[in-house]
Structure 1
Amino acid sequence: MEITVPSKSAQAQFVMPTYTLREGDASYDFGFWLDSLTGFRTRQLGPQPAPGTLRQQWDVHWADGASAEYHAVLGGPVRNLATGYTRHLKHQDLAALVVGQGASAPGKEGGLVAMGNLPGSRSGSSMSFRRPLPNTAALYVSTLDEVTWDLLFTQSSGHDENGFPREEAAYEAQGGRTFEGGRTYRERFNAAVFAPRTDAAHGVLREGGSIAGSVPLLADGANHAGGFYDANGSTVLRRDGVEVGRSESPLESSEPFAVPPGEASYELTTTTTTRLPPELSGTSSETTATWWFRSKETAEPTPLPVSVVRFDARPALDGTPPAGRTANFPVTVQGPAATAPASLRVQVSYDEGRTWRPLHVRDGRVEVRTPARGGTVSLRAAVTDRSGNKSEVTVLRAYLAG
C-alpha cells in the first residue's frame, strides 16, 4: 500500500481505509484506524460482489513542518477490494488552501478541520493540527474522484482535565466545496470585524403567536457563521413600546417569544459580549443589533424583514491595521434592505461608544482614520428598507490600532 504527496518531508499522521458493501436494503461498513500505511496490505478474497454494491475509500492525513498539512480522500465504486493500492499524488492533483486564522486575545490556539467527502460515501475522517494564533497555514487537499470538502476552524484556550483543547469558538466555511487541482485558494477565519449575519438560514421568524430568531451576532470578518460558545448577552422584545419578552441570552440562544395576536409595531434588541474572564476576543467586545418592524400572526413560519450591516475592514489577523493611517473599506447590507436601501448611515467612535461621529458612505464604502497605537475603532450603522423597516448594528471595539 502506498499513497504519497509531492513533499518528501510530509509525515503521515492518520490513515483510514474503509469499504462499504450493500446487500439489498442493508449496508455493511468496515475500516481501519492507522498511524500510516507502512506494513498495511490488502487482498481480495472470496467471490466478486454484484456490480454496484461495493465501495472502497482511502483517507490519509499528513503533517509537513509547523505550518503545512496534506489531506487526501480517494476511492469510489469498485468491483473488488483492492489487492494492493498505489497513488502518487502530484501538484496538479492537489489544491492549496492558504488559511489565515485570527485571534485578538493572547494565549489562543486554533485548529483547522478539512473533511473530504466522496459521492455516495458513508465514511469520512479528519485531523486537526493546533497552532498558536494568529497564524497562516497551508492545507493541500486532493481534488480527484469528485471529492468535496468541508472546512471548519476552532479557537481554544488551554486544556480540560482530560487533556483535550478547551474550545471557545467555531466557524465553518460553506460546505461541499470543490477545488481545482494546481490552484491556490485563500480563506480567512476568526478575524475582525465580527458582526451579525443574516441569510436564508439565519434570520427572525414569526409563526402564529411567537417570534424567534437565529442571527449569529459574531459572524467573522469573512462572513463565516459561527461564534464564541461562552459569549453571553441579552434579548428584549417590545410591542408598541411595551416589553413583552426578555431573555438573558443572545437571540440565537433564546426561546421563542410569545406575542399577542393582531398587527403591531415591534422593536427587537439583542446583545452579546466577549469581554469575559478569560477574555475570548480583544475585538467586538460588545455587539448589538436592533430591528424595528410591523408584524401580525401567521399561519406558517414567515421571515420578518430584518437586515444587518457588515463592515469589511479586513485588519490584520490580530485585529489591528497600522496606527495613524486611513482605512477605506466596504459596508455591506444583508437582508431585505440589501437591494435598494432607503437610507444607510454609518458612524465611528474612538472612545468605545461614548461619542459618535458620522461617516460619509460613497459607493458603498467608508473612510475611517485609524487612531494612534493602543486606540480602538467602534462602528455603528443604521439601514432602512423601502417598506420602512429599520435595522441598527453597533460593534464596540470593531478593531484595534496596531
Structure 2
Amino acid sequence: MRALSLLLVTSLLAVPSTVDNPGRGSLHTLVTGDRVRVGGPDRLVIKPAPGREKVRFLAHRLGDGLQVIPVDQLPQIHAGKVSRRQFEVVPATTKPVAARQIHALTLTHLGRDGEPAQIYDTLVINRDSYETTFLHGPPETGTLYLPAGRYVAYTVLFSGNYPERPEMTMLAIPSITLDGDQSFSFDGRASNHMSVSVPHPTAKQLLAEAGWEIRVDPQIGLGGSMLSDTYDGFYIGHAGPDADNPEFVAKATSQWAEMGPDGTAVNSPVAFMLSWYQEGRLFTGLKKDVKPTDLARIRAKHHSHLANGLGLRALWSEVPGKAQWGIAAELYFYLPFSRVEYVNNDSGRVRWHIEATDDAAVSFLRSPGNYQPGRTYSQTWNNAVFGPGTDGTRNGDAISVYVPIYTDASGHPGYGVAHTSRTALFRNSTKVFEAPDFNPQTIDVPPDDAQYRLEVAAQRGDPWPYDLSSDVKVAWTFRSRHTDSAKLLPLSVVRFTPALRENNTAPAGCSFTLPISVQRQAGGSIRKPTVFVSYNDGLTWQQVSLRDAGSGWATTLHHPMGNGWVSLRAKHTDSSGNIVEQTIIHAYRISS
C-alpha cells in the first residue's frame, strides 16, 4: 500500500468540474467549506472553498491519523471555540504504554527578532504511543507534564498578516528523551528563509511545502507540514540540542507550472516537480536555484475517452523507507493532451509517484521511479485496451484482492466508477463471498487445499457516457491453501496493446495488427492464450490465430467498414493449470 500523500489544489488551477471518482477516496467538507478528499492512508486532496484560495494550511501526521488545519482557524481553536477534532480527516489511534513517571517539559518560544513569540502552535508527540499534546501562546512559555519517554516536538510561529496570510516559521526538536524535568527553546533566530527558482520565466509556483517526517512503518508515520502556494514568508530551522536524529527527515516540495493566457495552469504544457530531503534535522532555510542540468524530463501523453474530456495529473515524491508522506499539486487538462514535466532526484534519493485521472473517471497509478538528470522519459497514459490487472494475495487463511479493472495498455493500474459491479469467490464450486462492487476485499477461507474461482465484473452505463470497456468480466481459477506469510495468488491476465489514435480509435475497413501478451504475478510458466474477437458487442465471436511476436504474440484483425467497436475475449491456462478467462466489450473504437 502506498504511503500517505497530500494533494493541494490551489486557486491557480481554476479547476473545472469533473465526474467524481469514488476510487480516489471519500470526500470531507471542513467547517470552513474547504474540501478534503481522503484516499485511505495513502493520499489526500485539499480544495480550498471559493474565496479561500490564499489560505495557508498545516498538516499533522499523527501515527495512523491526519489533521488538516486551515491557519485562519487557529484563533478559534486556541480560544477553545472550535475543536481540533473537527479537522481530523483520518482519525488517529494511540498505542497503550505502561504507566511511567511524570516529568515537566517547559518550552519557550522566541520570534525571529529574538522577542517573545505570542502566536504559535506547538505539538509534542510521544514516539511510542503517538499521543499528541498541544501548546499555544500567549504566553511565550508553557509547561507540559508528560510521562517519561521518547518525544519529538515542533512548532510553527506566526507573524505578519495573521491569521489570513501570515509569515510562518517552523522549528523542530528531532528527539527528546524525557527522563526528568527538561526545558527547551524554540528560537526563531535559528531559522532562515526558503526560496526556489526554476529555469522557466513564465512558470508560477503552485505548491510550497516545508515539513518533516519520521517513518515508523509503511502505514504509520509522524510528521508535520506547512502548505501554501509560495515560499514567500516561509522560514524553517532546527531547535533543541545540537544533535541529529537519523530517523527524522526534513522535506521541502516546490511545484510549478507555466500559466496560460487566462492566468490558470489548466492545459499547462510545462511543469516542474521538485523535492529535497535532509536526514537528522530540519533545514536551516532553503535556497535552490534550479538549473536545467539538475532535471530529468518526462514527456507524458494522455489519450482520451471523450471529445475534450477532462483529466488531471499529480506527482509526489518519497525517499524509500525514510519519507513516504507525499505532497503534490493537481494539474488539470483537456484530453487528448501532452505535457513536459521536469523532476529532480536530489542526488539519487527521490522517487516520484505519478497518478492520473482520465475523462472516464478512472485513476491510474505508476510505481515510484527514479528519474536521472539529463535524461528524457516518454510515457503514454489512458490508452486502450482497458482491462483487468492483477492484485491478489493469500496470507494465512485470508485471501485479499483489489483488481484494477481498468488497467490501461501501458500497464498503469486503473481504478474507477462503474454502473454495476461484482466480486465473488467460490471454493470447490461453492460461493463463499459476494459483494456488489470491486473494492478491496479480504475474505477468510478454510486452511486446507481447495480449488477457487474469483470473479470480478464491472459494467458502465447511465449516468456515465463512457463507451470504452463498457462491460469487463474476468474470472480466475486456481488452487490455494494456508500460507505462513503473504503470498501472491497465481493470477494472470491477457493484455492487448494496439497502436491507436489519441482518441483510442483505430481505422475501419482495413487489416489491423493487435499485439497480445500475458502478464502474471505468480503461478506456472506462460503459454499461448486463446483469443476471440467480436464486431457486434459480443453477440457472436470469432477465434483468431496468433503468431509469435517478440515476448508475446500478434494477430491480424480485419476491421469492418463504418464506425463501431471491437470487443475481445481471451483465455489463458498456465503450465500449473491456473486459468484466467476475460471479456472486454468495446475494447476500442473503429471509425472511417
TM range (shorter): 0.7 to 0.9
RMSD of the alignment, in Å?
3.5
Measured in 1, the distance between the counterparts of 2:443 and 2:281 equals 52
Residues in 2 aligned to 1:44 and 1:246: alpha-carbon distance in whole angstroms? 54
Change (3 A) 1:204 1:380: farther
Q: Separation in 2 of the partners of 1:325 and 1:316?
A: 15
CA distance in 2, matches of 1:130, 1:80: 32
For the pair shown, the structure with the greater C-alpha radius of gyration is 2
Counterpart amino acid of residue 554 in structure 2: R
Aligned ranges 1:172-183 → 2 under 5 Å: 172-175=365-368, 177-183=369-375
1:273 aligns with 2:459: yes
| C-alpha distance 291-143 of structure 1, shift in aligned 2 (>3 A) | closer
In the alignment, what sits opposite 1:226? 414
Match of residue 297, structure 2, among 96, 101, 109? 96
Identify the residue that residue 199 of structure 2 maps to in structure 1: 6
Contact 1:73 1:118 (8 Å CA) reproduced: no
* Structure-2 change in CA distance of 1:192 and 1:42 (3 Å): same
Q: Percent identity?
A: 25
Spell out the pairing of 1:167-316 with structure 2 (5 A cutoff): 168-175=361-368, 177-198=369-390, 202-203=391-392, 205=394, 208=397, 213-237=401-425, 244-245=431-432, 247-250=434-437, 252-253=439-440, 256=443, 266-279=452-465, 281-294=466-479, 298=482, 304-316=489-501
- Choose the corresponding residue for 2:537, options 349, 352, 374: 352
Q: Give the C-alpha shift of residue 395 in structure 1.
A: 0.8
Q: What is the DSSP-based 3-state SS (H/G/I as helix, E as strand, rest coil) of the residue aligned with 1:401? A: strand
Structure 1: give runs of 5+ residues left out of the alignment. 158-167
| Inter-partner Cα distance in structure 1 for 2:464 and 2:561 | 26
How far does residue 73 in structure 1 lie from its aligned partner after superposition?
A: 0.9
Gaps of 5+ in 2: 1-193, 216-220, 260-267
Aligned partner letter, 2:472: T
2:590 aligned residue:
401
Residue pair 1:49, 1:79 contacting (<8 A) in 2 also: no
Aligned AA for 2:565? T
1:35 to partner: Cα distance: 2.5
CA distance in structure 2 between the partners assigned to 1:90 and 1:369 by the alignment: 51
Alignment counterpart, residue 128 of structure 1, candidates 330, 333, 346: 330
Q: What is the rounded CA distance, in whole Å, between the counterparts of 1:387 and 1:194 in structure 2?
A: 27
**Matched AA of 1:151:** I
Residue in 1 aligned with 2:208? 15
1:70–1:141: 8 Å Cα contact kept in structure 2?
Answer: yes
Match of 1:63 among 239, 249, 257: 257
Superposed displacement of residue 310, structure 1: 1.0
Name the CA shift for 1:69/1:258 in 2 (closer, same or farther; >3 Å): same
1:154 deviates by 2.0
Deviations 1:116-149 (A, max 9, x none): 2246347542101111222122211122242211
What is the alpha-carbon distance in structure 2 between the residues aligned to residue 205 and residue 30 of structure 1?
A: 35
- The one-letter code of the counterpart of 2:329 is M
CA distance in 2, matches of 1:204, 1:86: 45
**Does the 8 A contact of 1:97 with 1:184 survive in 2?**
yes
Question: Do the aligned residues in 2 keep the contact of 1:219 with 1:226 (CA within 8 Å)?
Answer: yes
Asked if the contact 2:489/2:523 (under 8 Å) is kept, the reply is no
* SS of residue paired to 2:476: strand
> In structure 2, how many angstroms separate the alpha carbons of the residues matched to 1:101 and 1:252?
26
Counterpart amino acid of 1:351? N
> Among residues 326, 332, 343, which one is paired with 2:511 in the alignment?
326
SS in 2 for 1:130: strand
In structure 2, how many angstroms separate the alpha carbons of the residues matched to 1:253 and 1:79? 38
2:533 partner amino acid: V
SS of 1:92's equivalent in the other structure is helix
The 3 A distance-change label for structure 1 pair 395 and 4 is: same
Counterpart position of 1:163: none
Deviation at 1:10?
A: 0.7
Structure 1 Cα separation of the partners of residues 414 and 229 of structure 2:
32
- Measured at CA, do residues 29 and 174 of structure 1 come closer, stay the same or move farther in structure 2, by a change above 3 Å? closer
The change in CA–CA distance for 1:315 and 1:50 in structure 2 (over 3 A counts) is same
CA–CA separation in structure 2 for the residues paired with 1:340 and 1:10: 48
Q: What is the CA–CA distance in structure 2 between the aligned matches of 1:50 and 1:155, rounded to whole Å?
A: 47
Alpha carbons 1:204, 1:214 under 8 Å: kept: no
Total equivalences in the alignment: 376
Answer whether contact 1:247 1:254 (CA < 8 A) is retained: no
Over 3 Å counting, the alpha-carbon distance change for 1:227 and 1:30 in structure 2 is closer
Q: CA deviation at 1:389?
A: 3.3
Distance 1:31 1:154, change over 3 A: same
Partner of 1:35: 229
Number of the residue aligned with 1:154 = 357
Which protein, 1 or 2, shows the higher relative CO under an 8 Å CA cutoff with sep ≥ 6?
A: 1
TM-score, L = length of structure 1? 0.80
Aligned match of 1:161 = none
Q: Deviations over 1:29-75 (max 9, x none)?
A: 6653333234x364869777224567543321111142221111124
Q: Which is strand-richer, 1 or 2?
A: 2
By how many angstroms is 1:338 displaced?
6.7
CA displacement, residues 178-213 of structure 1 (integer Å, 9 cap, x when unaligned): 101121112222221111112xxx1364965x7663
Q: CA deviation at 1:294?
A: 4.9
1:387–1:138 CA distance, 2 compared to 1 (3 A): same
